[in-house]
Amino acid sequence: MSSFRKALKSRQKNHHERSQPGFRKHLGLLEKKKDYKLRADDYHKKQNTLAALRKKALEKNPDEFYHKMINAKLEDGVHTMKKGKTDEEEVMTEEQKKMMRTQDIGYVEMKRVAEAKKIERLKGELHLLDADGKQQNKHTFFVDSKKEVETFDLANHLNIPPELVDRVYNRPTLQTLETKSIMGAVEPRSIQKLARERKHQYRILSQRIDREKKMFVISQKIQTRKDLQDKTKKVKVKRETKNSAAIYKFETRRKR
């Protein structure tokens, strides 16, 4: 029986697909049924998609509105979201984003308190004077008549030399200068060196004040995001900015 099957199998011919005739070689390979099936399935899939979209468009509510209708635009046939605000209008700087991603509120608050202590210590050393030797606040003198206002002399009133009128620190009176010797630097080079050091200290103080303000804003924003995780109903009162966190008004709940 096995020999008969072998003889029958040897007499059978292998089936070969018909190739493209010679006069149609310029049209490429002859399409087979499996190729036609793939092309037909793809065509019907696209037709079904178009029919579904056409039906959805006919049944659409004309009053329907989505925010993406105004926040998205078509670029090269692809819907893309419109760019947000400019750099000046961004509510968070890159430094704030990095700090909020990597640190928690406890660490930020600890660093802020440390900066505040350093600021108070620097203010105590510099006596709240600016780098140029000019006080920011004003000193008002009161007199009895307009004539005294016209003839008012600050050096005579304070009993100091006219050369020290522009100073707001280290202004000894004439009596002090007559009775006591001068202490401290008196040479012009030493005075200039002290002025440069004082200016450097004020620059450091200004940087620390800015850093403390930034950390305060970051801690406020982190705390706000933690508060938003609460499921209590809330209403936004003020939008978030670079220099302040958003303000929300939460619904009052009576504690049991």
Q: pLDDT under 70 in the chain at which residues?
A: 1-2, 4, 6-15, 84-92, 96-103, 127-137, 168-169, 181-186, 256
Model pTM score: 0.45
> Is residue 114 domain-resident?
no
Tell me the per-residue pLDDT of 154-200, one tens digit each, with 9 for 90 and over.
Answer: 888 888 888 777 776 677 787 777 787 666 655 777 778 877 888 88
Going from the C-alpha of 1 to that of each of 4, 6, 8, the distances in angstroms are 5, 9, 11
Phi, psi of 58 (to 5 degrees): -70, -35
Q: Give which of 155, 148, 118, 123 is closest to 136, Cα–Cα.
A: 123
Q: What pLDDT is recorded for position 133?
A: 46
Encoded amino acid at 122, one letter? L
pLDDT at site 8: 63
Instruction: Judge whether 163 lies within some domain.
Output: yes
Residue 167 lies inside a defined structural domain of this protein: yes
pLDDT at 87: 42
For residue 148, tell me if it sits in a domain: yes
The count of domains in the chain is 1
Domain enclosing residue 157, as ranges: 132-179
Residue 78 phi, psi (nearest 5): -120, 135
- For residue 44, what pLDDT is reported? 97
Rounded to whole angstroms, the Cα distance separating 70 from 62 reads 16
What does the pLDDT read at residue 86?
46
Domain annotation covers residue 217: no
3-state secondary structure 174-191: HHHHHHCCCCCCCCHHHH
Residue 121 lies in a domain: no
What pLDDT, on a 0 to 100 scale, did the predictor assign at position 75? 84
- Give the C-alpha separation, 245 to 91, whole Å: 9
From the list 222, 248, 205, the residue with the least C-alpha distance to 96 is 222
Q: Distance between CA atoms of 214 and 96, rounded to whole angstroms?
A: 8
Q: Is residue 152 included in any domain, yes or no?
A: yes
pLDDT (0 to 100) of residue 2: 64
In a domain, 247, yes or no: no
